[in-house]
Amino acid sequence: MTLALRERLIPFSLPTTDGHTVSPEQFADAPVLGVVFWCNHCPYVKAWESRMIALQKEYASRGVRFILISSNDPAKYPEDSFEAMKTVAREKGYPFPYAFDESQEVARRYGATRTPEVFLFDRSRTLRYHGAPDDNFENPDAVTQRYLKDAIDALLAGGEPAVTETPPKGCTIKWKG
Amino acid sequence: MRIEFLYWEDCPSHAEALARLRQALAEEGVRDDVQVIRVDTQEDAERHAFPGSPTIRIDGVDLQPEGVQGRTLLTCRTYVTDEGRLSPLPTISMIRRALRAHRGPHKEVNDDTRPA
């Protein structure tokens, strides 16, 4: 079952492409924290990638942090191997930790099903937005609803996001077995 | 003209892609049927030389052959649009251009709007 709105963040600790380990506790001071299920191979991820990078850079000075997690089975999708993740993170200059959920346990506990899929938490680490980054994966210039950005703005202002849930739009997470 | 549309149900782009294909065919005056092929297993993918969903072939020629890379896999496919953006969907203009390129300057199509 997918983590529900107002439920608490589920802790995790995962290896990242920069050779470290990431856990949400490392960003205890962040007023807003996004846990984003991600991967290398999915065209929806590729379509949203530059927007997510830009969003992280735009809000970094205000303490907003994203953690990206790939849970895909690299045996079936070699493009999503940890080594390939390291290459993408380096080449694209990812401004966020990119973590490998090899056991797929984090994705299962969150109930994530797609890439990309955003879980956005407030300062007390309760879930306040879940879904897609915006309403147009195909054309950034044609976006009319900036779900993630608007939710971040609302939380930073101490308010309630106008939209709290949208259907995640993307590739399915590639489970083992 | 033999028009094939291959898709994998798990990839959510297929309905929109098929709609775009039908719109492109209508706009180009092509009335040939579209053969819709659902790919469910890796064995299906190999049998159809399926590089990802959605895939459009016109007389066996892929819409964007440079995106095929010789692989067969149950996956969503990435297209590069005219603007250089990466997308899970081909644009209508890409499909129309492929239809025109395949038709060539001397090939006839079913177009009642042309003068006799």
The DSSP annotation for A81-127 comes to SHHHHHHHHHHHT-SS-EEE-TT-HHHHHHT--EESEEEEE-TT-BE
Query: Is the Cβ of B10 closer than 8 Å to some Cβ of chain A?
Result: yes
Q: What is the pLDDT of residues B68-83, one digit of tens each?
A: 877 898 999 999 999 9
Residues of B in contact with A169 (CB under 8 A): 12
A171:B75 CB<8 A: yes
Query: Is the Cβ of B50 closer than 8 Å to some Cβ of chain A?
Result: no
Q: Tell me the average pLDDT across A72-97.
A: 97
Going by the DSSP 8-state scheme, the letter that residue B1 receives in this structure is -
Q: How far is B113 from chain A (nearest CA, A)?
A: 33
Going by the DSSP 8-state scheme, the letter that residue B85 receives in this structure is -
Per-residue pLDDT band at B102 (split at 50, 70, 90): confident
Q: Could you tell me which residues come within 8 angstroms of residue A124 by beta carbon, excluding any fewer than 6 positions away?
A: none
Say whether the ipTM exceeds 0.90.
no
Give the DSSP H/E element, type plus range, for residue B47.
helix B42-47
B89:A172 CB<8 A: no
Query: Could you tell me which residues of chain A have a Cβ less than 8 Å from any Cβ in chain B?
Result: 41-44, 46-47, 49, 77, 137-139, 169-172
- Residue B68 is predicted with a pLDDT of 82
Q: One-letter amino acid identity for A137?
A: F
- Angstrom distance (rounded) from CA A50 to CA A53: 5
Q: Which of B70, B69, B74 is nearest to B38 (CA)?
A: B74
Query: What tokens does A93 get?
Result: 């200059």
Is pLDDT above 60 for B94?
yes
Is pLDDT above 70 for B61?
yes
Per-residue pLDDT band at B66 (split at 50, 70, 90): confident
- Angstrom distance (rounded) from CA A28 to CA B109: 64
CB A125, CB A132: distance < 8 Å: no
Q: Tell me the average pLDDT across B45-60.
A: 96
A46:B79 CB<8 A: no
A47:B12 CB<8 A: no
Q: How far is A112 from chain B (nearest CA, A)?
A: 15
- Residue B105 is predicted with a pLDDT of 61
CA distances to A125, B51, B72 from B69, rounded to whole Å, are: 43, 8, 9
Report chain A's mean pLDDT, rounded to a whole number: 97
- Residue A177 is predicted with a pLDDT of 87
Q: Could you tell me which residues come within 8 angstroms of residue A169 by beta carbon, excluding any fewer than 6 positions away?
A: A44, A114, A132, A137, B12
Report chain B's mean pLDDT, rounded to a whole number: 89
Mutate to test the interface with B, among A42, A48, A166, A172 (most CBs of B within 10 A): A172
Q: Tell me the average pLDDT across A104-117.
A: 98
Q: Which of A34, A174, A7 is nearest to A97 (CA)?
A: A34
Mutate to test the interface with B, among A138, A139, A169, A174 (most CBs of B within 10 A): A138
- Residue B112 is predicted with a pLDDT of 44
- Angstrom distance (rounded) from CA A58 to CA A39: 22
Q: One-letter amino acid identity for A17?
A: T
- Residue B69 is predicted with a pLDDT of 74
- Angstrom distance (rounded) from CA A134 to CA A111: 20
B75:A172 CB<8 A: no
A139:B78 CB<8 A: no
Q: Could you tell me which residues come within 8 angstroms of residue A103 by beta carbon, excluding any fewer than 6 positions away?
A: none
